[in-house]
Amino acid sequence: MSDNAGKLRVDGAVESPQSFTFESLAAVDSRFQVLDLQRIDPKKKGDAISLAGLLEVVRVKPEAKFIGLHAAADNFHASIPLDAIRERGLLIYRVDDAPLPVKAGGPFRFFIIDHAACKTHEVDECANVKFVDHIEFTVERGFDNRPHDEAEHQALHEKESHG
């Protein structure tokens, strides 16, 4: 495991770039903690930090317009307009008082409340990036290698299920 294992770097157009761990996310102000996701989505479990809270903790600059969600583990990247998800983005980091397991997309997973089905909208299920190790706020749209069509999307799921 690299030194970065279990760390989430948040940087880009922010006043206070920082690296988060399970412990430091758990220590974020309670008004930014979203507890028991099952209340919000029956298929989800665990606890999260709200995107609005994350924006406040790292003091995002007003010129930041996109959130870049980067997963080095499987080289998956999404760049999403902040205004589309400001009020409904979540960073899931805990289940049953332990770090979110890798099999659930942990240790850090992005999740958008009321996301659309894959390939139907920019804010879709594909944007629920698993294994996020770097979040970068940008002024312009950043790197995004989400599938472009249903064939690419199918291929991604094939790859996932074969490990």
Ligand X SMILES: Nc1nc2c(c(=O)[nH]1)N[C@H]1C(S)=C(S)[C@@H](COP(=O)(O)O)O[C@H]1N2
Binding site for ligand X (CB under 6 A): 71, 74, 76, 105, 118, 125-126, 128-131, 153, 156, 160
C-beta of 8: minimal distance to ligand X in Å?
Answer: 13
Whether the Cβ atoms of residue 139 and residue 82 lie closer than 8 Å to each other = no
112 binds Mo ion (CB under 5 A): no
**Nearest Cα residue to 30 out of 57, 67, 62, 58:** 57
Task: Report d(CA 85, CA 57) in Å as an integer.
Answer: 17
Judged by beta carbon distances under 5 to 8 A according to partner kind, the member of Mo ion, ligand X, none in contact with residue 131 is ligand X
118 binds Mo ion (CB under 5 A): yes
C-beta of 100: minimal distance to ligand X in Å?
Answer: 11
Q: How many CA atoms lie within 13 A of 61 on its CB side?
A: 14
C-beta of 13: minimal distance to ligand X in Å?
Answer: 23
Whether the Cβ atoms of residue 88 and residue 113 lie closer than 8 Å to each other = yes
Q: How many residues bind Mo ion (CB under 5 A)?
A: 1
